[in-house]
C-alpha cells in the first residue's frame, strides 16, 4: 500500500515537473514571440518613418526643382526679351529704298491754281524697303537749294514699302498769286539723300511745265497715306 502511494507521489511529481517544463517552454516561446513582435513593431515604426523621410526628400527636391524652374523662367524671359529686341532690330534694319528700285512719278493736284504736286514712289525692287525722311527736290539749279521739309508731316513710324506699295509726298510749288514771281520747270530731280539711294529725274506732269516759287515751295515727308492732315500745307 505504501509502495503504491509512493509510486503515485513520484508520478505526480514527475507530471508536475513535466507540466512546469511545458509552461516554461511556452513562456520562452511567448517571450520570443513578444520579442519578435517588438522587433516587428520597431521595423514597422522605421518603415512608417521612412515614407516621411522620403517625403522630406521629395519636398527638398520639389523646392530645388522650383528654384530651377524659376531660373528657367528667367532664362526664358531673357530669351523672349532678346527675341523681342531681335524682332525690333530686324524691322529697323530693313534695307533702304533706292532710286533704282523705285518708280517715282509726279501728278499735279486737281483744281486751279495748281499750286501743289504729289510725288509717288512705287517699290519695284521685289523686296521690302524703308523710305526715310523726305525727298531732296531740286526744281531749279543746285544753287537755289532743295525744297525745304515741313516738320509736322513727319510720320511717327518707319515707312516700310512692300513690293508694289507706294509712298507719297505732298509738294507745294507756289501760292498761286497773280503777282507772284514764278519760274517754269519741265523736269526736276529727286534725290534719296538720307537713304544714300541715288537720284531720279522726274518729268513735269504738265506739258507746259510747272510754275515754282523758291520763296514759297515746301515738301512733306514720305508717308504711306496722302492727305492725312499732317501734309496739309
What pTM was estimated for this model as a whole? 0.60
Tens digit of pLDDT for each residue in 18-74?
A: 444 444 444 444 444 343 444 334 433 333 344 444 444 444 443 333 344 433 333
From the CA atom positions of the chain, what is the Rg in Å? 51
Q: Determine the pLDDT at residue 112.
A: 65
- Strands (DSSP E) contained in the chain are 102-108, 116-123, 129-131, 136-138, 159-161, 166-172, 183-185, 187-191, 199-203, 210-212, 218-219
pLDDT tens digits along 127-144: 999 999 999 999 998 888
The number of residues in the chain equals 233
Amino acid at each position: 500500500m505504501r509502495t503504491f502511494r509512493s509510486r503515485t507521489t513520484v508520478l505526480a511529481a514527475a507530471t508536475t515537473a513535466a507540466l512546469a517544463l511545458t509552461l516554461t517552454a511556452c513562456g520562452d516561446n511567448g517571450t520570443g514571440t513578444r520579442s519578435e513582435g517588438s522587433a516587428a513593431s520597431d521595423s514597422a515604426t522605421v518603415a512608417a518613418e521612412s515614407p516621411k523621410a522620403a517625403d522630406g526628400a521629395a519636398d527638398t527636391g520639389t523646392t530645388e526643382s522650383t528654384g530651377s524652374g524659376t531660373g528657367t523662367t528667367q532664362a526664358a524671359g531673357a530669351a523672349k526679351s532678346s527675341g523681342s529686341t531681335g524682332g525690333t532690330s530686324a524691322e529697323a534694319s530693313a534695307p533702304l529704298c533706292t532710286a533704282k528700285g523705285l518708280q517715282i512719278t509726279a501728278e499735279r493736284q486737281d483744281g486751279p491754281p495748281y499750286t501743289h504736286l504729289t510725288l509717288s514712289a512705287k517699290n519695284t525692287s521685289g523686296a521690302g524697303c524703308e523710305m526715310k525722311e523726305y525727298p531732296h527736290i531740286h526744281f531749279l539749279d543746285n544753287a537755289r537749294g532743295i525744297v525745304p521739309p515741313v516738320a509736322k508731316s513727319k510720320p511717327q513710324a518707319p515707312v516700310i514699302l512692300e513690293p508694289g506699295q507706294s509712298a507719297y509726298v505732298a509738294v507745294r510749288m507756289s501760292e498761286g498769286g497773280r503777282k507772284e514771281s514764278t519760274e517754269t520747270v519741265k523736269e526736276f530731280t529727286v534725290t534719296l539723300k538720307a537713304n544714300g539711294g541715288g537720284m531720279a529725274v522726274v518729268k513735269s506732269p504738265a506739258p507746259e511745265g510747272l510754275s515754282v516759287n523758291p520763296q514759297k515751295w515746301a515738301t512733306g515727308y514720305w508717308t504711306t497715306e496722302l492727305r492725312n492732315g499732317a501734309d496739309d500745307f
